[in-house]
Chains A and B, each alone.
Chain A
Amino acid sequence: MKKFIFIIIFFILSSNVFSANEELKNKIYKNIRCIVCQGQSIYESNSDFAIDLKKLISKKLDNGENEKQIYEFLISRYGEWIVFNPGLNLNSLALWLLPLLIFMIGGFLIFRLNNKEKK
């Protein structure tokens, strides 16, 4: 009986690890642009290029590389264009900072108006 329970627990745990790994793989695939296709990620594409990249990413993950290392490798080979979610750099600064800036200015204006009304 003990053996049976142990096997079931082992099976549940290993299937969880497997699905977490699959989730990470799919997350990366969805963030990598298929540069030979029109506006598709490699997750959606079945082109030769996409299939090769998926195999390589899967292999790199199995070898213990993390998500960041994989993005860095692909950017070093194909440029920033290959990722859908760009990192923070000088060109994407406006994209990252502007919403925050507008939010802060808006908050400040509301605060000022509120104060004026109270007076």
Chain B
Amino acid sequence: MKNKYKIIILGITIVIIFILFLRVLNSNKTYQPNQMIGKKIPEFILEDLLNKNTKLDSNILSGKDFAILNIWASWCIPCRIEHPFLMDLKDKNQINIIGLNYKDESMNAKNFLKKYGNPYSLIGIDKKGEVAIQLGAYGVPETYVLKRGKIIFKHIGPLNEDAVNKILELKK
């Protein structure tokens, strides 16, 4: 009888250890880009690139029903690839796009917009890249879709047709 109990307890212990190991084995061990999804956009106030008297305040974003926040820089080659997608989102789909100019020279950024067009309604200057870290970004370009100030989707890397379709779907 005693032996029977021992076997049962041993069996239960093995099963518990097995479940614990299985949990750890299946847990996510890579960078989780979805960490910020569902969270409110962090608070920040930045100077606007094109108008010194205007500020990009994160509270403005909280008031918007649907907006895109795009992290870009003039020195970033993939940003040039995604730029036509941003122009289309603005011109064809009337989506409000806000830019975050990441560790850039203002002159170069302005020249970039002159050459490729300006899809942004406001552009915050993130000279030290601190706001990008607040947003959980780790490079350029990155795009956040915001609904009433809440991050509902994030795309890492240059926008492509799939990402644009996803954004348009989210807007519906």
Q: CB distance A77 to B136 under 8 Å?
A: yes
Interface residues on B, range: 20 to 34
**For window 135-170 of chain B, which residues contact chain A by CB distance below 8 Å?**
135-136, 138-139
Q: CB distance A52 to B17 under 8 Å?
A: no
Q: List 5 A-B contacts (CB under 8 A).
A: A49-B139, A52-B132, A79-B32, A81-B28, A98-B17
The main secondary structure of chain B at its interface with chain A is loop
Instruction: Report chain A residues within 8 Å CB of B133.
Output: 52-53, 56, 77
User: In whole angstroms, how far apart are the Cα atoms of A98 and B36 in the complex?
Assistant: 32
Instruction: Report chain B residues within 8 Å CB of A56.
Output: 130, 133
| Shortest beta-carbon distance from B23 to chain A in Å | 6
Other-chain contact of B24, A53, A77, A91 (Cβ < 8 Å): A91
**For window 41-84 of chain A, which residues contact chain B by CB distance below 8 Å?**
48-49, 52-53, 55-56, 76-79, 81-82
Q: CB distance B29 to A81 under 8 Å?
A: yes
Q: Is B5 an interface residue (CB 8 A)?
A: no
What 0/1 readout, one digit per residue, does chain B (99-129) give for beta carbons within 8 Å of chain A? 0000100000000000000000000000011
User: In whole angstroms, how far apart are the Cα atoms of A98 and B24 in the complex?
Assistant: 13
Q: CB distance B130 to A78 under 8 Å?
A: no
Q: CB distance B134 to A77 under 8 Å?
A: yes
Q: CB distance A81 to B30 under 8 Å?
A: yes
A78-B24 contact, Cβ under 8 Å, with A35-B138, A36-B138, A52-B129: no
Q: Is A8 an interface residue (CB 8 A)?
A: no
Other-chain contact of B20, A36, A78, A82, A94 (Cβ < 8 Å): A94
Q: Is A113 an interface residue (CB 8 A)?
A: no
Q: Is B53 an interface residue (CB 8 A)?
A: no
Instruction: Report chain A residues within 8 Å CB of B103.
Output: 48
Other-chain contact of A36, B30, B136, B139 (Cβ < 8 Å): B139
- Measured CB to CB, the nearest residue on chain A to B27 is A91
Other-chain contact of A81, B21, B32, B36 (Cβ < 8 Å): B32
User: In whole angstroms, how far apart are the Cα atoms of A55 and B132 in the complex?
Assistant: 13
Instruction: Report chain B residues within 8 Å CB of A36.
Output: 138-139
Q: Is B3 an interface residue (CB 8 A)?
A: no
Instruction: Report chain B residues within 8 Å CB of A78.
Output: 31-32, 35, 136, 138
| Shortest beta-carbon distance from B131 to chain A in Å | 11
| Shortest beta-carbon distance from A1 to chain B in Å | 47
Q: Is A90 an interface residue (CB 8 A)?
A: yes
Instruction: Report chain B residues within 8 Å CB of A77.
Output: 35-36, 133-136
A90-B23 contact, Cβ under 8 Å, with A52-B129, A56-B133, A78-B35: yes
User: In whole angstroms, how far apart are the Cα atoms of A118 and B97 in the complex?
Assistant: 81
